[in-house]
Amino acid sequence: MVRPLHVALAAGILALAGGGVVAAIPRGPAVSGVVVDAVSGRVAAGVEVVYGGASGTVLNRFRSPDFAFRQVADDGRTLSATAPGYRPVSIEVHPGATGVRLALQPVEIPDLGGVLVFPRADGGRLDLTAQLLDGRGAVLPEFPAVPLTARLVAEGAGAIPLDLRADWSGPEIRLPLSVSLEALSKAFPPGSPAGYLVVEVKAGDKVVTSRPFAAPQGAALPAE
C-alpha cells in the first residue's frame, strides 16, 4: 500500500524522535531587511542594529546594508539602529518580517578633518574632484549624506560658488566640483590680487578647507 507523502514524512520524523534523534525543520530569518542612509540610500557605515531591546541580539554593518536575525528575540518586536553621525531609529516589527527598511537621517560627518582636491581645466571649465578626510588625514570612504556646498576661494580676492553634485551611486562616493572659466574670470578680473586657490566645503554645519593650490594650466587666474 502506498501511503500519502505527508503521512510517510510524519512517520519518519516520529521514528527518528523515538530513536533519540529530533529532525530539524529549516527556518528562515526571524527578521531581515536593510539599514541605509535615508538620503543617499548607501549603507550607514558603522551602524549597530539591535533586535529585541537592550538585551537583544546585535549586528554591526560597515559595508553591506543587509541584515538578518536568525532567531526570534525575547522581546520579539523592537528593532533599532544607531550609527555615528545619524539620528537613531527604532521601530516595532513582527517575527518573520522580511524586507524591513531602517532609514537613518544623517546629522553630521563624525571626525571630519579636511578635504583633498584634484583640479584640472577641461572644455572651458575648472573641474575638481574632492575627497573628504578624517581628523588623521585619511580619506573617508563612507560618510553620512549631510547637505554639501562648496566654494573656490582665491587668496586676497574673494570667493566664488562651485557646482557640487554628490554622486552616491557608485562603489565609492564621488564629489565632483566645477566652475566655468568665464565665471572665474568675472569673479577674479584682471588687477584683482588673486593668489593661490583653496576649496572650502561646508558639510552640514562644519566647514573644512583644502590646502592651497595653483590654478591648473588653462585655468590660470587673469593677470593685470
**What's the mean pLDDT in 88-101?**
91
Domain assignment present for 8: no
Which residue segment(s) compose the domain that 86 sits in? 27-106
Write down the pTM of the prediction: 0.78
| Residue 20 pLDDT greater than 90, yes or no | no
How is residue 48 written as a grid cell?
Answer: 549597530
**What's the mean pLDDT in 211-215?**
86
Instruction: Name which of 141, 121, 115, 79 is nearest 207 in CA terms.
Output: 115
Q: Which amino acid is at 200?
A: E
Please state which of the ranges 34-43, 60-69, 147-156, 172-181 shows the lowest mean pLDDT: 60-69
Same domain, 197 and 121: yes
Q: Say how far apart CA 190 and CA 218 lie, in whole Å.
A: 16
**Boundary-marking domain end, from 89, 106, 123:** 106
Q: Where do runs of H (alpha helix) occur along the chain?
A: 5-18, 181-187
Q: Say how far apart CA 83 and CA 47 lie, in whole Å.
A: 4
pLDDT of residue 23: 36
Q: Which amino acid is at 55?
A: S
| Residue 29 pLDDT greater than 90, yes or no | no
How is residue 165 written as a grid cell?
Answer: 553634485
- What one-character DSSP code corresponds to residue 211? P
Q: Say how far apart CA 130 and CA 200 lie, in whole Å.
A: 10
| Residue 158 pLDDT greater than 70, yes or no | yes
**Boundary-marking domain end, from 106, 121, 146:** 106
Contact yes or no for 30/95 (Cβ under 8 A): yes
**Boundary-marking domain end, from 74, 90, 106:** 106
Sheet with 86-87, side-by-side order of all strands: 66-69, 31-37, 100-106, 86-87
Q: What percent of the chain has pLDDT over 70?
A: 77
| Beta carbons within 10 angstroms of residue 10's beta carbon | 12
Number of domains observed in the structure of the chain: 2
Q: Say how far apart CA 67 and CA 44 lie, in whole Å.
A: 12
| Residue 1 pLDDT greater than 70, yes or no | no
Please state which of the ranges 18-32, 40-54, 60-74 shows the lowest mean pLDDT: 18-32
Instruction: Name which of 65, 75, 73, 81 is nearest 31 in CA terms.
Output: 73
Domain containing residue 178: CATH number: 2.60.40
Same domain, 198 and 134: yes
